[in-house]
Structure 1
Amino acid sequence: MSQAHVDTVVPDAGPRVPTGESVATVAQRLDGLPLTWLHGAILAVCTFGLFTDIAEVALSNALAAIFSAPPHDMPRGGLALLLASVFAGGAVGAPVFGLLGDRIGRRRALQASLALMAVGSLAAALSPGPASLTLARALSGFAIGGFPPLAATYLTDVMPPRRRGAMLLVCTGLGSLGGAAVLGLVYALAPEPPLGVEPWRWALGLGAALALFGAGLFGLMPESPRWLALVGRRAEADHACRRFERAARIMPPPVADGAGPAPAPPVRAGFAALLADPGHRRRTGRFLALYAIAPWATLGFPLLSTVVMLQKGFRIHESLVFGALSLLGPPLGTTLTALVVDRLERRACLVALAAAMAAFGTVFAGASTFPVLVGAAIAFNTAASIYGGILAIYATELLPTPVRATALACAWAGGRVSAALAPIVLLPILAAFGAHAMFGAITLALVLSGLLLLRGPGGLSGRAVT
Structure 2
Amino acid sequence: MIDARIQAARPPDAAAHTGGSVAAVTQRLDALPITRLHAAALAVCTLGLFTDIAEVALSNALAAIFLAPPHNMARGSLSLLLASVFAGGAVGAPFFGMLGDRLGRRRALQASLALMAAGSLAAAASQGLTALTVARTISGFAIGGFPPLVATYLAEVMPARHRGATLLICAGIGLLGGLAVILLVQALSPGAPLGIEPWRWALILGGALAALGGFLFARLPDSPRWLASIGRSIEADSACRLFECAAGRVPVSTPAGPATTPAAPGAVGFRALFTGTHELRRTGLFVGLYTLAPLATIAFPLLSAVVMVEKGFKVEQSLAFAALSMLGPPLGTLLTALVIDRLERRACLTGLAAAMAALGTGFAASGTFLTLVLVGIAFNTAAATYGSILAVYATELLPTPLRASAMTCAWAGGRIVAALAPIILLPILTAYGPHAMFAVITVVLGASATLLVAGPRGLSGQAVA
Regarding TM over 0.5, the answer is yes
Whether contact under 8 Å (1:119, 1:140) holds in the other structure is yes
CA shift at 1:19, angstroms?
9.4
**Which moves more between the two structures, 66-75 or 330-339?**
66-75
Whether contact under 8 Å (2:21, 2:262) holds in the other structure is no
CA distance in 2, matches of 1:26, 1:114: 28
CA shift at 1:277, angstroms?
2.2
CA shift at 1:314, angstroms?
1.0
Q: How does 1:116-135 map to 2 (within 5 A)?
A: 116-135=115-134
Partner in structure 2 of residue 12 of structure 1? none
Whether contact under 8 Å (1:19, 1:264) holds in the other structure is no
Q: Match of 1:442, as an amino acid?
A: I
Q: How does 1:107-256 map to 2 (within 5 A)?
A: 107-254=106-253
Q: Match of 1:72, as an amino acid?
A: H
CA distance in 2, matches of 1:196, 1:262: 64
CA distance in 2, matches of 1:19, 1:315: 66
Secondary structure, counterpart of 1:146 in structure 2: helix
Q: How does 1:19-418 map to 2 (within 5 A)?
A: 22-254=21-253, 257=256, 259-418=258-417
Whether contact under 8 Å (1:19, 1:265) holds in the other structure is no
Q: Match of 2:73, as an amino acid?
A: M
Secondary structure, counterpart of 1:136 in structure 2: helix
CA shift at 1:261, angstroms?
2.2
CA shift at 1:369, angstroms?
1.0
1:374-415 superposed Cα distances (whole Å, 9 cap, x missing partner): 100000000000000000000000000000000000000000
CA distance in 2, matches of 1:417, 1:189: 32
Whether contact under 8 Å (2:20, 2:235) holds in the other structure is no
Secondary structure, counterpart of 2:21 in structure 1: helix
CA distance in 1, matches of 2:234, 2:252: 13
CA distance in 2, matches of 1:19, 1:103: 23
Q: Match of 2:357, as an amino acid?
A: A
CA distance in 1, matches of 2:255, 2:129: 60
1:230-269 superposed Cα distances (whole Å, 9 cap, x missing partner): 2222222111111100111112121665853234322321
Over the residues paired in the alignment, what is the CA RMSD in angstroms?
1.5
CA shift at 1:23, angstroms?
1.3
CA shift at 1:328, angstroms?
0.9
Whether contact under 8 Å (1:354, 1:450) holds in the other structure is yes
Partner in structure 1 of residue 10 of structure 2? none
1:344-370 superposed Cα distances (whole Å, 9 cap, x missing partner): 110000000001111111111111111
Whether contact under 8 Å (1:19, 1:230) holds in the other structure is no
CA distance in 1, matches of 2:110, 2:164: 23
CA distance in 2, matches of 1:20, 1:94: 33
CA distance in 2, matches of 1:51, 1:224: 21
Q: TM-score, normalised by structure 2?
A: 0.95
Structure 2 portions without partners, runs of 5+? 1-12
Secondary structure, counterpart of 1:349 in structure 2: helix
Structure 1 portions without partners, runs of 5+? 1-14
CA shift at 1:84, angstroms?
0.4
CA spacing shift, 1:19–1:104, aligned 2, 3 Å: farther
Partner in structure 1 of residue 425 of structure 2? 426
CA distance in 1, matches of 2:102, 2:30: 23
CA distance in 2, matches of 1:367, 1:187: 25
CA distance in 2, matches of 1:409, 1:273: 14
CA shift at 1:275, angstroms?
1.6
Partner in structure 2 of residue 448 of structure 1? 447
Q: Match of 2:241, as an amino acid?
A: R
Secondary structure, counterpart of 2:165 in structure 1: helix
CA shift at 1:134, angstroms?
0.6
Q: Match of 2:78, as an amino acid?
A: L
- Counting aligned pairs with the same residue, the percent is 67
CA shift at 1:36, angstroms?
1.0
CA shift at 1:228, angstroms?
1.1
CA shift at 1:333, angstroms?
0.4
1:262-307 superposed Cα distances (whole Å, 9 cap, x missing partner): 3432232111211222211111011000000000000000000000
CA distance in 2, matches of 1:232, 1:454: 36
CA distance in 1, matches of 2:456, 2:409: 19
CA distance in 2, matches of 1:345, 1:372: 32
Secondary structure, counterpart of 2:67 in structure 1: coil
1:318-361 superposed Cα distances (whole Å, 9 cap, x missing partner): 11111111111100000000000011110000000001111111
1:89-146 superposed Cα distances (whole Å, 9 cap, x missing partner): 0000001101111110001100000000000001110110111111110100000000
Matched length: 452
Q: TM-score, normalised by structure 1?
A: 0.95
Whether contact under 8 Å (1:68, 1:79) holds in the other structure is yes
CA shift at 1:21, angstroms?
7.0
Whether contact under 8 Å (1:20, 1:267) holds in the other structure is no
CA spacing shift, 1:259–1:190, aligned 2, 3 Å: farther
CA shift at 1:210, angstroms?
0.4
Q: Match of 2:436, as an amino acid?
A: A
CA distance in 1, matches of 2:189, 2:195: 10
CA distance in 2, matches of 1:253, 1:260: 19
Secondary structure, counterpart of 1:61 in structure 2: helix
Whether contact under 8 Å (1:225, 1:238) holds in the other structure is yes
Q: Match of 1:345, as an amino acid?
A: E
